[in-house]
Structure 1
Amino acid sequence: MPGAPNIRVLRDIKARNGVNANEITRRAYLFVARNQALPPHVRYQAQLQLNTFGRYTRPTTVKNRCMVTGRGRGVMSEFGLCRYQQYTFT
């Protein structure tokens, strides 16, 4: 196991923290922006507020990655390892 974590893993951790910190606020703005019963200027302001959030506050930036190699495919969620690393630790 390498000493320093992979940059992809660090980026994924940063994205997970950002999503968790801003989830409720983002969902509230999304609800207001998509509500057809509200006046257009209110919906527009909510959309502007959504656009001010950073890149790593969007849930789509979170990806399951291997905690050792940073590989994004074949990750066993139970262990947090990709299919190649899983066998080296068992």
Structure 2
Amino acid sequence: MGPKPNARILRDISAREMVKQNEVARRAYLYVARNQALPPQVRYQAQLQLNNFHIRTRPSCVRNRCTESGKGRGIINEFGLSRFQFRLKALAGELPGVKKASW
């Protein structure tokens, strides 16, 4: 077992879940709010509904974070790990398909 997830990781996981749960409704309201063919009152109501969504339902709040340490920089997307954690796991042989180069 790895270390206990810190607050950053838990916050990131909850943000990803909330974005996934509300994605269809947000896209529908965005479409209505930006559709110039609809009456202004309908577009205004759609915009108000968008503003009432929780802040974590916005896709822009989801950040790449290391799943082990919670760092937000130097993330290798394929593995979801920071550079240092990737190096540690690769040297320990814990990542499938990753071998040390032999030049």
TM-score bin (small chain): over 0.9
Q: Give 4+ residue runs of structure 1 displaced > 2 Å after superposition.
A: none
Query: Which deviations, in whole Å up to 9, do the C-alpha atoms of 1:46-79 show, x marking residues without a partner?
Result: 0010011001100000011001111111111111
1:24 Cα offset (Å) = 0.6
- Alignment partners' CA distance in 2, 1:49 and 1:8: 28
1:87 alignment partner AA: R
- Alignment partners' CA distance in 1, 2:7 and 2:77: 19
- Alignment partners' CA distance in 1, 2:15 and 2:41: 31
Indicate the percent of aligned positions where both proteins have the same amino acid.
62
Q: Is residue 33 of structure 2 the alignment partner of residue 33 of structure 1?
A: yes
The size of the alignment, in residue pairs, is: 89
TM-score using structure 2 length: 0.83
Q: How does 1:1-90 map to 2 (within 5 A)?
A: 1-2=2-3, 4-90=4-90
TM-score using structure 1 length: 0.94
Structure 2, gaps ≥5 residues long: 91-103
Structure 1, gaps ≥5 residues long: none
RCO comparison, higher one (Cα < 8 Å, 6+): 1
Greater C-alpha radius of gyration: 2
1:6 Cα offset (Å) = 1.5
- Alignment partners' CA distance in 1, 2:35 and 2:6: 41
